[in-house]
Amino acid sequence: MEDLFKKVFYTGVGLVTNTTNSLKNGVNELVEKGKISEEEGKKVVSGVEETIETKREEFEAIMNNAVGIAMAKLNFPSSENINRLEKRIKSLEIKVGLLTKELEQKTETAKKAAPKKATAKKTTTRKTTSRAKASAK
């Protein structure tokens, strides 16, 4: 958003510069044709340049104010806030990485330290059928 306002501002500056150059060319033509003196031409051009410089400063102040208001209303984070959050994220990533390594080391240590369990044999009981009981008697 801030870039958009900068582009608009620089476009305005470009238009003013182009207009100033056109004015200078026009004044030079008038001087060459003898319709105004060179002195008058210089006064006109310098007067316009001074006015443009004054207006540029006013325009810049108005644009900066407008950008600030728009950014606040639209709740866009400033570049300062973004930089601060990026630093905070990097710090948290480092902490998470360290905690992950620590947890992995503890898990490996616990696996190595755990005694192997002996597997118990299952004893199977045989059911004796009534025939087998009878023949045994």
Would you say how long the chain is, in residues?
Answer: 137
Q: What radius of gyration do the chain's Cα atoms show?
A: 43
Q: What range defines the domain where residue 84 resides?
A: 79-110
* Whether 2 contacts 81, CB under 8 Å: no
List the structure tokens of 46.
């310098």
Considering the domain architecture, whether residues 28 and 71 belong to the same structural domain is answered as: yes
pTM reported for the whole predicted model: 0.38
pLDDT digits (tens, 9 = 90+) for 43-65: 888 888 888 888 878 888 887 88
Distance from C-alpha of 91 to C-alpha of 85, rounded to nearest angstrom? 10
* pLDDT exceeds cutoff 70 at 20: yes
- Tell me which of 27 and 89 has the higher pLDDT: 89
Q: Does residue 122 sit in helix, strand or coil?
A: coil
List the structure tokens of 13.
């500056």
* pLDDT exceeds cutoff 60 at 129: no
Considering the domain architecture, whether residues 68 and 91 belong to the same structural domain is answered as: no
Q: Give me the residue label for tokens 């500056």.
A: 13
Considering the domain architecture, whether residues 28 and 67 belong to the same structural domain is answered as: yes
Considering the domain architecture, whether residues 57 and 71 belong to the same structural domain is answered as: yes
Number of domains in the chain: 2
The pLDDT, as a whole number, for residue 88 is 97
